[in-house]
Amino acid sequence: MTRTHSRRPIVAANWKMHTGPADGAELARAVAAQGLPLDAVDVVVLPPALGLSAVAEALRGTRLAVGAQHVHWESHGAFTGEISAAMLVGLAAYALTGHSERRRLFGETDRDVRRKARAIHDAGLTPIIAVGESLDERDGGQTEQVVRAQVEHALADLTPALTAASVLAYEPVWAIGTGRTATPEQAEEAIGWIRAAVGALHGAAAAGQVRIQYGGSVTPANARALLGREGVDGALVGGASLDAASFAAIVQAAA
Ligand code: 13P
């Protein structure tokens, strides 16, 4: 594939609430054994917090990165059940925020996402910031304004340089876990809107450098078509990432 820019593809495995320490480490080892094209693609696995240490240990010495699915925006304090980005230093290189499951099921707001994106950077980690519209919003023709507003909130506390060093993920809510993937054209269009929103907020250089993934029912069967589109810099994979060979096939499609 010829690319008109220098952004390195990034594919992340969001294991969601699957795997504990032992089976998580086993899955991580299976992923690492797949012969991934790591010269060409950044690969990140996002296990549940409980398994972060075991997975990081299993991947020590490999070029696979580990990330958290969720962090608090403060570095420490009386926040029962939470973990902070600062606590992940040495363990994880990435942290996800803004995922629609967190927004919808756990009340994560745009303001939370903004604070978390900043906290993740402040800890020296890279945020993967997810945005995306619901089916009603898409059917109502509001996708562009919805993702623009989410981007504006999420990046409000970041500098252009921190924005350029972030990863964004376009995850239409209606495509997550439904088997209903966005078409490559829809993914390209929405990612174009997201990149334009980044540009309007933090300038053309940041917009040109920030990597934007597509997520939502990505499989080995559809990955090549999605990842071949202009501006689609990788994938955020849920269900298909729980099978090492399937995930590897998606990483290959990004290379
Ligand atoms: P699925 O790949 O299972 O649709 O999940 C996508 C997702 O939410 C990744 O963060």
Residue in this structure with the two tokens 């099921």, named with its chain if needed: 105
CA of 200 to the centre of ligand 1 (A): 28
235: containing domain: 10-243
Tell me, yes or no, whether 250 lies in a domain: no
Cα separation of 1 and 46, whole Å? 27
- Nearest residue to 215 (alpha-carbon basis) of 37, 71, 32, 11: 11
Cα separation of 206 and 165, whole Å? 8
248 HSE (CA, 13 A, CB side): 14
Closest-CA residue, ligand 1 atom 1, reads: 238
Q: How many domains does the chain have?
A: 1
pLDDT, mean of residues 96-124: 98
Tell me, yes or no, whether 136 lies in a domain: yes
pLDDT value, residue 243:
98
Strand 126-131, strand 167-170: pairing: parallel
Confidence label for 2 from pLDDT (cuts 50, 70 and 90): very low
Closest-CA residue, ligand 1 atom 5, reads: 238
Cα separation of 1 and 243, whole Å? 26
Global pTM reads 0.97
CA of 12 to the centre of ligand 1 (A): 10
pLDDT at 4 over 60: no
Confidence label for 6 from pLDDT (cuts 50, 70 and 90): confident
Tell me, yes or no, whether 187 lies in a domain: yes
pLDDT at 3 over 90: no
pLDDT, mean of residues 218-234: 97
Tell me, yes or no, whether 253 lies in a domain: no
Cα separation of 138 and 132, whole Å? 10
pLDDT in tens, 140-192: 999 999 999 999 999 999 999 999 999 999 999 999 989 899 999 999 999 99
* Burial class of 77 by CB neighbour count within 10 A (0 to 12, 13 to 18, 19+): exposed
CA of 103 to the centre of ligand 1 (A): 14
Domain CATH code at residue 211: 3.20.20.70
Q: What is the mean pLDDT of the chain?
A: 96
Cα separation of 11 and 165, whole Å? 15
Tell me, yes or no, whether 57 lies in a domain: yes
Cα separation of 129 and 113, whole Å? 8
Cα separation of 118 and 209, whole Å? 18
133 is catalytic: no
Tell me, yes or no, whether 5 lies in a domain: no
Higher pLDDT, 3 or 249: 249
Contact between residue 34 and residue 244 where contact means Cβ atoms under 8 Å apart: yes
Contact between residue 131 and residue 108 where contact means Cβ atoms under 8 Å apart: no
Identity at 15, one-letter amino acid code: W
DSSP state of 48: -
Tell me, yes or no, whether 65 lies in a domain: yes
pLDDT value, residue 1:
41
Tell me, yes or no, whether 18 lies in a domain: yes
pLDDT, mean of residues 240-252: 98
Q: Is the CB of 220 under 6 A from ligand 1?
A: no
Confidence label for 253 from pLDDT (cuts 50, 70 and 90): very high
pLDDT value, residue 175:
94
171 is catalytic: yes
